[in-house]
Structure 1
Amino acid sequence: MRSPAPSRQTATGALMKERLTVGSLFSGVGLCDLGLEWAGMKHRFFCEVDPFCRSVLRRHWPGLPIYEDVRNLRGENLPHPDVLCGGFPCQDVSLAGKRKGITEGTRSGLWYEYVRLIEEIRPKYVIAENVPGLLAAGIETVLQELAEIGYDAEWEVLSASAVGAPHRRERVFLVAYPHGRWVDPEHGILSALVGNMGKSYEPRFVSDWLGIRIDRTSRASVREAFGGCVLHRVDDGHSRGMDRPESVKLLPRELVPVWVRRLKALGNAIIPHQAYAVASCILEAEGMSVFPIPQRNKIKSPFAAL
């Protein structure tokens, strides 16, 4: 039985001398990576196929390698990270898709490239993120492939509302590590997740949502879980300024393509606070300090100046 996780520490002043390093696959615009960085991890490389997303990554992580195609990567040619993270494509496991599952030749079949790189790199930890549909159409494949290369895994469904956002955006977060690293099934790495959710950054308008976990099978679950006033369009986020006709303005024609790419990138992303909560669990399990999330006025938009 492993000893209980050390108490949470806050890193202030100088940066920690020792930080877990990260290699990021299927990086998107880096919102998952932003959460890992907030917690105190340091990136070594990214991999993202979309040119617009790579432009965002280049702006916010200048000087780091950004590879284009996960299929062309080889572990021996990459900077070695402690943590390999990534949200592999969800199209074939999502409830909104055709539910083909994780099979060769599909978008979600890029999982096989992910697990190949895990085997070649042998990181201390793997963080895989996907939609909840994975639990019904692919989780067996993921666990089997990890087991075959000597990795154990644990997972949790974490919604954006659980870390303060006024919408669900549920995602499966799976953390894997070499077989035998943690031997106590009652106190796995993610056992601290519930406590860490309430330690995340509090948005100004939705602080009362922190730590709420919603049963997605019931339409009334939001009202049951939250005793206060509930926004009518809760899944759409905060409605302030959205519904008044006078607030709606047409974009200049030349900006439409940019906004389409921005919205697509955000639609494929998570909120950084979800990744921050998961990273905090890993850092605490390692006995390392967890950085506090930056104050709201110091958080930069991933799309700033683009």
Structure 2
Amino acid sequence: MYVGSLFSGAGLGDIAAEAIGLSHAWFCECDPFARAVLERRWPGVPVYHDVRDIHGQNVKPVDIVIGGFPCQDISCAGKGAGITGERSGLWSEYARILRELRPRYAVVENVKALLGRGLDRVLGDLAEVGYDAEWDVFPAAAFGAPHLRERVILVAYPGGDRRPARAPILAPGGDLAIHGQPDGPVDWNGLRLAGPQSQAAVSAYSGPVVCRVDDGGTHWLDRLRCLGNGITPAVLRWVIKRILSASKNRSLRSTLNRKPD
């Protein structure tokens, strides 16, 4: 299966896609430093500079489109312009690309604030271009990260694919477990964790602590920005695995239901 990557950043989500067997047809990223990372890791794969340059007639067709459109106007840390803001408003380009390319699936990521600051617009635009959707909030702590980093993940697919017998793609499964129950804020390795799953981070994560610090070097600042803009790979890996499983099951049902020749 081929994947097209929008708002790719330095490719953290794309690492997850590659790890479970997807092949990249193209990327799209406006930041020069992030593009350099993509070009080094995936040599020979086209990297477009502007999402407005992606059209059905000039890019390779793909099975899955993935990408987290800009969150700056939606995030609680921003100025609150909302999904029609200059940066988050690029969601409209995402919807246009789905209308033109018609992939089997799309995976859309954004901050949790999207639930009250634009999810209705996203769902409306998806319906307008013929896509149905499922969504949920995933804390990175549930996948072993040392922070909560709650993100909305939305999976969209052509609306005609929904049938009564179809199992939801994002339904909880045994391979997703949030460990422990919160008892309030937790101080851990110099980090102050707070939120509904603060204890989950402590119990699930066993790796080194990476703090957002600056040693004064330009490239370190660039790396921090790329990490800050990226999705936790383990989260997207879990979601894509569910998509591949659902796709396989639908193909199997289609085979079993086919009338004999």
- Short-chain TM bin: 0.7 to 0.9
CA drift at 1:50: 0.2
> Deviation digits for residues 168-219 of structure 1, max 9, x if unmatched?
011110000001213248831111x44333xxxxxxxxxxxxx2179xxxxx
Q: Partner residue of 1:168?
A: 148
Does 2:161 correspond to 1:195?
Answer: no
Please give the per-residue CA displacement for 1:28-76, whole angstroms capped at 9, x wherever unaligned.
Answer: 0000111111122111100000000000001111110000000122121
Query: Equivalences for 1:1-306 in 2 at 5 Å?
Result: 20-103=1-84, 106-184=86-164, 187-191=167-171, 193-197=172-176, 211-212=177-178, 222-223=182-183, 231=188, 233-235=191-193, 251=215, 256-287=217-248
Q: Kindly state the Cα deviation for residue 80 of structure 1 after the two structures are TM-superposed.
A: 0.4
- Over the matched positions of the two proteins, sequence identity in percent amounts to 47
**Partner Cα distance (1:284, 1:195) in 2:** 14
1:183–1:258 distance in 2 versus 1, CA, 3 Å: same
233-242 or 31-40, which deviates more: 233-242
Quick one: which amino acid aligns to residue 174 of structure 2?
Answer: G
The answer to whether the Cα contact below 8 Å between 2:187 and 2:193 also exists between their aligned partners in 1 is no
Q: What amino acid does structure 2 have at the position aligned with 1:147?
A: A
- CA separation in 1, counterparts of 2:101 and 2:47? 17
Aligned residue pairs total: 237
Letter in 2 for 1:64: V
Does the 8 Å contact 1:129/1:172 carry over to 2? Answer: yes
**Which deviates more, 56-65 or 279-288?**
279-288
Task: Name structure 1 gaps, 5 residues minimum.
Answer: 1-19, 198-210, 215-220, 244-248, 289-306
Query: Greater relative contact order: 1 or 2 (C-alpha under 8 angstroms, separation 6 or more)?
Result: 1
Deviates more, 1:81-90 or 1:67-76: 67-76
* Residues 43 and 250 (structure 1), Cα distance of their counterparts in 2 relative to 1, 3 Å cut: closer
Cα distance between partner residues in 2 of 1:33 and 1:85: 8
Task: Tell me if structure 2 keeps the 8 A contact 1:83–1:125.
Answer: yes
Query: How far off is 1:242 after superposition?
Result: 8.2
1:108 Cα offset (Å): 0.2
Please say if residues 152 and 179 of structure 1, whose CA atoms lie closer than 8 Å, have aligned partners that are also in contact. Answer: yes
Residues 24 and 45 in structure 1, CA contact (< 8 A), matched pair in contact too: yes
- Is contact 1:167–1:234 with CA below 8 Å preserved after alignment? no
Counterpart AA for 2:244: L
Q: Aligned AA for 2:113?
A: G
- In 2, the alpha carbon distance for the partners of 1:242 and 1:154 equals 32
TM-score (norm 1): 0.71
Contact 1:196 1:280 in 2 (8 A): no
- Tell me which stretches of 4 or more aligned residues in structure 1 moved more than 6 Å: 236-243
The answer for the alignment partner of 2:253 in structure 1 is none
Q: Which amino acid aligns with 2:64?
A: V
Distance 1:60 1:186 in 2: 37
Q: RMSD of aligned C-alpha atoms?
A: 2.8
Rounded Cα–Cα distance in structure 1 between residues aligned with 2:188 and 2:51: 41
- The structure-2 alpha-carbon separation of the partners of 1:185 and 1:94, relative to structure 1 and needing over 3 Å to count, comes to farther
1:122-149 CA-partner distances (Å, limit 9, x unpaired): 0000100000000010000000000011
Distance verdict in 2 for CA 1:157–1:184, change over 3 Å:
farther
C-alpha separation in 2, matches of 1:242 and 1:115: 35
Q: Secondary structure at the match of 1:168?
A: coil
